[in-house]
């Protein structure tokens, strides 16, 4: 354990060594916040704290898995496996399952994804005969989401004339009724949407003091990563759970707060000191991730924001290459530039695809990039967008499986009751819906009792409905004794889904069958993996829980070496040696929809700060002078964010342009009604260590054992250190490829390479000046 603690700098060590009490770590990007959380958990366990008593909340489930992995390496996997770690949604879904009956839900409640929610809302709008152009389902859903995350229940809505007035003003006087109908519909279906997972947890903890006490006693130590992006609902859960023991450690960076549009509340950071007694505040200032050029450039970006906390970020890493700026004529050309740069870098520096990331503001931008990468035969992977589980053929299978677990699930039922076609038409379904509403029962229950209700259906139709019920019930019987793989295989065959797809011999049709096979492979993996965990049998319920909360980022990609494509929002917390931020154009980034107020523009700027600080060694900013948007070729101008970076950090690959078009904006602070005396503007910051280092601030030192990219003509101290240390036979840990053994070393100085056999992914040759390796 000591070894891991000694790898931290002094500022990082302090919060690890403080065992009890409330603490907040506020620090810039790449300063080791996530690393501190990880080591802190391991150290708590080392001091005898039971893993059962620790709760750790992360931004993605993947991040949680990686942290757990690291902790296993330190304290052993039998201990680490009992840790509760994951996103707010996945952790509280688990708690809600065991307490569901208290809230009137079945423990096998379904979790609706946004497609299901939209479908339900569309249905309601239709039933209420409202105009879809005014009551746009997406807008309605986002408004409902805002209500839920602010804990505004239907009742609270109807008690709040201001809210009702606001909706009436925006021509949606029936908003409240839709909200109410939606909530009732979900409840009747035994379903919760994503926001419910937080809202209902709050309800559970406030209405049932004994439940609150139980979880307070259980989670004696609570840790939260990316605290700046928690919303009000999440904030209240954390506050309630930590209220008894007050052992709460949160880490965050106000400069990376990028979810205000979804209700994240920067006040959660600012109020932390008020909420708890005797809060210790820690600041980390040394960035270990990025070259000095990137760190300094990112600092100059943040200087343009008025509202921010005082913060210093510097690095002892080498200066590194300048940020390269590239202009192209079209978005296709922009794609070609990115693809050919990746191609050349791979050739010249023996880099892997996985060392590159392409980040963009909107998902639509991925297409031009994909086309160019495909032409160059560069494998890539898109994160976000339509996830695997939302593809039609997959979702069809999943909806049958959802019915097996919870036949009340109305959205699932509607989707598959007549797919594959079995002669149950729209009129029949409408009659069933009316009856279900009338008897206040689920549609499935109406179908079960179809003989006893007079719906004026002919006997053929009745028989078909009964057959459907019998089929689902037979699946339920099988599911009692079989694992998730068996039941999924059975369902996809017996429902006729696979046969239906086989009728379509086009390549698209074949791809769909392959997707179903892929789903089955995934489930097989899952069931086998689950068997290693105590008490888990790889059941369908366990699998569906995983699926409902899986984000694309969660899938393990260790076995694949691909360029990563994703929106900047998704890239939070991640790092890559080379990062392309594409589409650096006015109206795209900053987005045209986020430029009317200063606070919106400042959020865009923080997003840019996040993008830039993902890069370890080289960042590229690219823009195009024209671009297809909404089917039209539009002219575009370079983003103001490029000009906001001090020119000394940039290298223009094409001549710079400066005809920026700035829009007037309303001067409104992002911090709203926050006490402004608490906010001080940052001083201009240099990337060298600040002069006013005091005793409790460490002097910069070369990272211990940690290798950083160094330029080919000036190997840094870190590289020399490494050169001496690494020998064949060493066991090493790579950030992305995991654990491996060094087989061979070749070359000298900046060209030195190691051949490493990784446990997952096989043998790879890595250029040491880029490879991020820890010797273990």
The residues annotated as belonging to the active site are 33-34, 225-226, 256, 614
Whether residue 647 is annotated as binding a ligand: the answer is no
Is 577 an interacting residue with respect to ligand ATP (CB under 6 A)? no
Is 12 an interacting residue with respect to ligand ATP (CB under 6 A)? yes
Closer to ligand ATP by CB, 311 or 336: give it. Answer: 311
Three-state SS sequence of 241-301: HHCCCCCEEEEECHHHCCCHHHCECCHHHHCHHHHCCCCEEEEECECCCCCHHHHHHHHHH
Span interacting with ligand ATP, options 6-14, 327-335, 385-393, 441-449, rule CB under 6 A: 6-14
**Which one of ligand ATP, Mg ion, none is in contact with 766 (Cβ closer than 5 to 8 A by kind)?**
none
Closer to Mg ion by CB, 60 or 117: give it. Answer: 60
Of 400, 396, 405, residue with least CA distance to 468: 400
**Which one of ligand ATP, Mg ion, none is in contact with 706 (Cβ closer than 5 to 8 A by kind)?**
ligand ATP
Size of the site for ligand ATP (CB under 6 A): 20
758 - beta bridge partners? 740, 762
The residue nearest ligand ATP at its CB is 32
Closer to Mg ion by CB, 315 or 636: give it. Answer: 315
Of 643, 641, 644, 640, residue with least CA distance to 661: 640
Size of the site for Mg ion (CB under 5 A): 3
Is 15 an interacting residue with respect to ligand ATP (CB under 6 A)? no
Cα 671 from Cα 655, distance rounded (Å)? 38
Is 34 an interacting residue with respect to Mg ion (CB under 5 A)? yes
**Which one of ligand ATP, Mg ion, none is in contact with 32 (Cβ closer than 5 to 8 A by kind)?**
ligand ATP
CA 116 centroid distance within chain: 20
**Which one of Mg ion, ligand ATP, none is in contact with 35 (Cβ closer than 5 to 8 A by kind)?**
ligand ATP
Is 25 an interacting residue with respect to ligand ATP (CB under 6 A)? no
- N residues, the chain: 776
Is 627 an interacting residue with respect to ligand ATP (CB under 6 A)? no
Task: Pick one of 30, 190, 354, 577: the residue that binds ligand ATP (CB under 6 A).
Answer: 30
Residue listed under structure tokens 């290693």? 532
Whether residue 28 is annotated as binding a ligand: the answer is yes
Cα 702 from Cα 345, distance rounded (Å)? 27
**Which one of Mg ion, ligand ATP, none is in contact with 309 (Cβ closer than 5 to 8 A by kind)?**
none
Cα 202 from Cα 568, distance rounded (Å)? 30
Residue listed under structure tokens 């001080």? 680
Whether residue 31 is annotated as binding a ligand: the answer is yes
Whether residue 76 is annotated as binding a ligand: the answer is no
Contact 86, 58 (CB under 8 A): yes
Closer to ligand ATP by CB, 11 or 339: give it. Answer: 11
Whether residue 30 is annotated as binding a ligand: the answer is yes
Closer to ligand ATP by CB, 146 or 557: give it. Answer: 557
Q: Residue 4 CB, nearest distance to ligand ATP (Å)?
A: 10
Cα 139 from Cα 126, distance rounded (Å)? 15
Ramachandran assignment for 740, one of left (phi > 0), alpha (psi -120 to 50 degrees), beta (any other): beta
Q: Residue 560 CB, nearest distance to Mg ion (Å)?
A: 23
The residue nearest Mg ion at its CB is 34
Sign of CA dihedral 259, 262, 265, 268: negative
Of 179, 174, 168, residue with least CA distance to 131: 174
Is 55 an interacting residue with respect to ligand ATP (CB under 6 A)? no
Indicate the SS3 state at residue 622. strand
Is 734 an interacting residue with respect to ligand ATP (CB under 6 A)? no
The secondary structure of residue 169, as a DSSP letter, is H
Rg of the Cα atoms in the chain: 27
Task: Pick one of 346, 537, 562, 706: the residue that binds ligand ATP (CB under 6 A).
Answer: 706
Structure tokens given for 445 = 């229950």
Task: Pick one of 15, 28, 573, 638: the residue that binds Mg ion (CB under 5 A).
Answer: 573
User: What is the Cβ-side half-sphere exposure of residue 598, based on CA atoms within 13 angstroms?
Assistant: 12
The phi, psi pair for 736, rounded to 5°, reads -105, -30
Span interacting with Mg ion, options 27-35, 367-375, 464-472, 546-554, rule CB under 5 A: 27-35
Cα 58 from Cα 32, distance rounded (Å)? 15
Cα 383 from Cα 388, distance rounded (Å)? 10
Q: Do the strands 248-252 and 84-86 form a parallel or antiparallel pair, or are they unpaired?
A: unpaired
Sign of CA dihedral 573, 5, 235, 192: positive
Whether residue 32 is annotated as binding a ligand: the answer is yes
Contact 429, 126 (CB under 8 A): no
Closer to Mg ion by CB, 573 or 583: give it. Answer: 573
Task: Pick one of 288, 337, 389, 758: the residue that binds ligand ATP (CB under 6 A).
Answer: 288
Closer to ligand ATP by CB, 258 or 450: give it. Answer: 258
Closer to ligand ATP by CB, 27 or 501: give it. Answer: 27
Indicate the SS3 state at residue 487. helix
Cα 677 from Cα 582, distance rounded (Å)? 38
Task: Pick one of 289, 292, 311, 764: the residue that binds ligand ATP (CB under 6 A).
Answer: 289
**Which one of ligand ATP, Mg ion, none is in contact with 605 (Cβ closer than 5 to 8 A by kind)?**
none
The secondary structure of residue 683, as a DSSP letter, is P
Residues 217-276 that bind ligand ATP (CB under 6 A): 253, 256
Closer to ligand ATP by CB, 447 or 719: give it. Answer: 719
Whether residue 29 is annotated as binding a ligand: the answer is yes
Is 28 an interacting residue with respect to Mg ion (CB under 5 A)? no
Task: Pick one of 33, 89, 402, 605: the residue that binds ligand ATP (CB under 6 A).
Answer: 33
Span interacting with ligand ATP, options 25-33, 260-268, 327-335, 506-514, rule CB under 6 A: 25-33
> Residues 6 or more apart from 69 whose CB is under 8 A from it?
none
Footprint of ligand ATP on this chain (CB under 6 A)?
Answer: 7-9, 12, 27, 29-35, 253, 256, 288-289, 573, 575, 703, 706
Binding residues: 27-34
Binding residues for ATP: 27-34
Footprint of Mg ion on this chain (CB under 5 A)?
Answer: 33-34, 573
């Amino acid at each position: 354990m000591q070894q891991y603690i000694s790898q931290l700098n002094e500022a990082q060590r302090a919060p690890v060594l403080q065992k009890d009490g409330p603490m907040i770590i506020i620090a810039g990007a790449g300063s080791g916040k996530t690393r501190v959380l990880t080591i802190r958990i391991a150290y708590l366990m080392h001091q005898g704290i039971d893993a059962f008593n620790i709760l750790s909340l992360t931004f993605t489930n993947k991040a949680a898995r990686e942290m757990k992995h690291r902790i296993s390496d330190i304290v052993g996997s039998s201990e680490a496996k009992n840790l509760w770690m994951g996103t707010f949604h996945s952790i509280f879904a688990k708690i809600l399952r065991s307490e569901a009956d208290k809230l009137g839900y079945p423990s096998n409640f379904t979790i609706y994804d946004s497609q299901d929610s939209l479908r339900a809302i569309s249905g309601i709008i239709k039933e209420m005969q409202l105009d879809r152009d005014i009551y746009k389902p997406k807008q309605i859903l986002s408004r409902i989401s805002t209500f839920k995350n602010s804990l505004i229940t239907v009742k609270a809505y109807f008690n709040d004339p201001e809210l009702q007035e606001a909706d009436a003003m925006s021509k949606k006087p029936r908003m409240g009724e839709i909200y109410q109908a939606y909530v009732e519909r979900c409840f009747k279906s035994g379903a919760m949407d994503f926001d419910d997972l937080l809202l209902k947890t709050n309800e559970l903890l406030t209405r049932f003091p004994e439940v609150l006490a139980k979880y307070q006693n259980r989670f004696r130590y609570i840790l939260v990563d990316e605290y700046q992006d928690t919303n009000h609902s999440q904030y209240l859960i954390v506050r309630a759970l930590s209220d008894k023991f007050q052992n709460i450690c949160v880490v965050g960076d106000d400069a990376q707060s990028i979810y205000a549009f979804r209700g994240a509340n920067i006040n959660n950071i600012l109020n932390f000191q008020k909420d708890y007694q005797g809060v210790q505040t820690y600041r980390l200032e040394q960035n270990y991730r990025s070259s000095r050029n990137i760190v300094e450039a990112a600092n100059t970006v943040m200087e343009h924001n008025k509202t921010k906390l005082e913060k210093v970020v510097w690095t002892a890493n080498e200066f590194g290459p300048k940020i390269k700026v590239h202009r192209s004529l079209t978005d296709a050309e922009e794609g070609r530039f990115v693809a050919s740069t990746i191609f050349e870098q791979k050739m010249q520096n023996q880099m892997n695809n996985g060392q590159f990331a392409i980040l963009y503001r909107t998902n639509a931008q991925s297409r031009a990039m994909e086309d160019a990468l495909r032409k160059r035969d560069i494998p890539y992977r898109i994160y976000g967008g339509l996830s695997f589980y939302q593809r039609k053929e997959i979702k069809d299978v999943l909806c049958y499986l959802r019915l097996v677990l919870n036949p009340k699930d109305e959205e699932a039922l509607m989707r598959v009751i007549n797919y594959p076609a079995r002669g149950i038409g729209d009129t029949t379904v409408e009659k069933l819906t009316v009856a279900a509403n009338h008897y206040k029962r689920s549609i499935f229950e109406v179908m079960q009792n179809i003989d006893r209700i007079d719906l004026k259906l002919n006997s053929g139709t009745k028989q078909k409905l009964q057959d459907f019920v019998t089929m689902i019930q037979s699946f339920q019987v099988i599911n009692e004794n079989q694992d998730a793989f068996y039941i999924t295989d059975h369902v996809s065959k017996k429902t006729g889904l696979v046969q239906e797809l086989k009728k379509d011999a086009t390549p698209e049709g074949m791809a769909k069958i392959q997707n179903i096979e892929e789903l089955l492979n995934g489930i097989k993996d899952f069931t086998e993996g689950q068997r290693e965990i105590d008490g888990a049998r790889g059941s369908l319920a366990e699998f569906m829980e995983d699926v409902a909360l899986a984000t694309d980022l969660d899938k393990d990609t260790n076995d694949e070496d691909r360029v990563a494509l994703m929106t900047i929002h998704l890239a939070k917390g991640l790092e890559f040696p080379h990062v392309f931020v594409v589409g650096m154009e006015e109206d795209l980034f900053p987005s045209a929809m986020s430029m009317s107020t200063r606070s919106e523009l400042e959020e865009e700027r923080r997003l840019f700060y996040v993008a830039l600080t993902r890069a370890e060694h080289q960042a590229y900013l690219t823009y195009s002078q024209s671009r297809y948007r909404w089917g039209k070729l539009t002219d575009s101008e370079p983003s103001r964010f490029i000009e906001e970076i001090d020119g000394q950090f940039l290298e223009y690959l094409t001549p710079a342009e400066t005809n920026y078009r700035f829009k007037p904006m309303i001067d409104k602070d992002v911090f709203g009604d926050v006490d402004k005396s608490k906010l001080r503007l940052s001083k201009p910051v240099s990337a060298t260590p600040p002069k006013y280092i005091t005793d409790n601030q460490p002097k910069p030192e070369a990272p211990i054992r940690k290798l950083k990219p160094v330029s080919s003509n000036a190997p840094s101290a870190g590289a020399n250190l490494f050169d001496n240390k690494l020998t064949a036979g060493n066991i090493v840990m790579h950030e992305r490829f995991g654990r491996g053994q060094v087989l061979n070393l070749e070359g000298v100085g900046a060209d030195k390479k190691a051949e490493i056999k990784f446990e997952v992914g096989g043998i790879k040759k890595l250029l040491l000046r880029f490879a991020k390796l820890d010797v273990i």
